[in-house]
Amino acid sequence: MAFFDLSPTDLATYAPAVREPADFDEFWSSTLAQARDHDLDVTLTKVQTGLTLVDSYDVEFCGFGGQRIKAWLNLPAGAAPHSLPAVVQYQGYGGGRGFAQEHLLWANAGFAHLFMDTRGQGSGWGSGGRTSDEGATGPSGSGFMTKGIDSPQNYYYRRVFTDAVRAVEAVRSLEWVDSSRVTVMGASQGGGITLAVSGLVPDLFAVMPDVPFLCNFQRATSITDSDPYHEITRYLAVHRGSVESVFHTLSYFDGVNFAKRANAPTLFSVALMDSICPPSTVYSAFNAYPADTSRKDIRVYSYNGHEGGQFHQSLAQVEWLQTLIQNSRVE
């Protein structure tokens, strides 16, 4: 894929006006209040993985509508109570939580690591998911982007983003975790979910969206023919009279609107040849993110597509977050 989007100079200052509904905050306050009518009911089942330096647990908690959401929890073996910073990670589009043994980096770096399964997904690639989606939906196309797109109340990502907030609440309830040092992260769809949580949870320690999806929907659907954004395009090619209502629904789920409400330090990444999550959509969220420059950074992978930095970015995230923790101790 060649360069196809704005120039690096233009991307650095690209801050478009993205549609934002007047009742955005009320919609999400009400949604989360309804979810909290259900007890979190976190359950932990220790699993035998054959690993000696990491303790692994099969986790369940109540997400949207009280529905049970699964996750893996990995900890440094023998961790003391209330001692660990935590990382909550969200999965990319179509993937599931897989096996506990697939998620070892953060526990080995000294963190409690909760990897959330994404409801209804897990059969597109990877090692599978285990969480069903019980939400109602009207007519939709293939994939998840148009499930319930007839209204914000029915839209698929209302349920997913609520699950993701509850995952933070679940990890904060764990005996090993220092609840003041919880970071959220994810790549692609996981990055979009991360941005949603950044705007819905006001006291996170840090936020790390990697090549994030679900940002600036109207621009994305106008400049890329790649899925998953193209699922929306195909839907609108059939439902010709639904353009306004579809983008109204999506405005409640746009990462730009969440980013502008965030307040934690952040490390983004972007790939300038990414046709799946075009760089201008990533910068739409990054430039809306209000943290001052000392608490806000973006790693740019100029000659990469949607794979981004891969493990180069993982190493950068570990170093950045550990430095942030060390500096917070000094303060």
Within a domain: 170: yes
Strand partners, 177: 84
pLDDT of 265-279, one tens digit each?
Answer: 999 999 999 999 999
Q: Does 1 fall in a domain? A: no
Percent of the residues in the chain that have a pLDDT greater than 90, as a whole number: 93
Show the CA angle centred on residue 110, arms to residues 107 and 115, nearest 5°: 35
Report the domain count for the chain.
1
Dihedral sign for Cα atoms in the order 218, 220, 226, 228: negative
Residue 95 in domain? yes
Active site residues: 188, 274, 306
Amino acid 46: pLDDT:
98
Beta strand ranges found along the chain (DSSP E)? 43-47, 54-62, 68-76, 84-90, 112-116, 177-187, 206-210, 266-271, 296-301
Bigger pLDDT: 125 vs 14: 14
Q: What is the CATH number of the domain that holds 26?
A: 3.40.50.1820
Q: Is the pLDDT of residue 124 over 80?
A: yes
Dihedral, 227, 15, 92, 176 alpha carbons, nearest 10: -170
CA gap 326, 322 in Å, rounded: 6
What is the per-residue pLDDT for 331? 64
Q: Quick check: 138 pLDDT over 80? A: no
- Say whether pLDDT at 195 is over 80: yes
Give the structural domain span for 105: 8-330
pLDDT band at 11 (very low <50, low <70, confident <90, very high): very high
204 part of a folded domain: yes
* Torsional sign, CA 79, 73, 261, 6: positive
Non-local CB neighbours of 191 within 8 Å, separated by 6+ positions = 90, 185, 209, 210, 211, 212, 213, 255, 277
Q: Look at residue 3 and tell me if it is in a domain.
A: no
Rounded to an integer, the average pLDDT of 75-81 is: 95
For residue 6, give every residue at least 6 positions away whose Cβ sits within 8 Å of its Cβ, in sequence order, or none.
14, 279, 280, 283
User: Which tens digit of pLDDT belongs to each residue from 37-51?
Assistant: 999 999 999 999 999
In a domain, 2, yes or no: no
Of 186-200, 226-240, 281-295, 310-324, least confident by mean pLDDT is: 281-295
Q: For residues 67 and 175, give the distance between their C-alpha atoms in angstroms, rounded to a whole number.
A: 23
Helix (H) or strand (E) run with residue 35 in it: helix 24-36
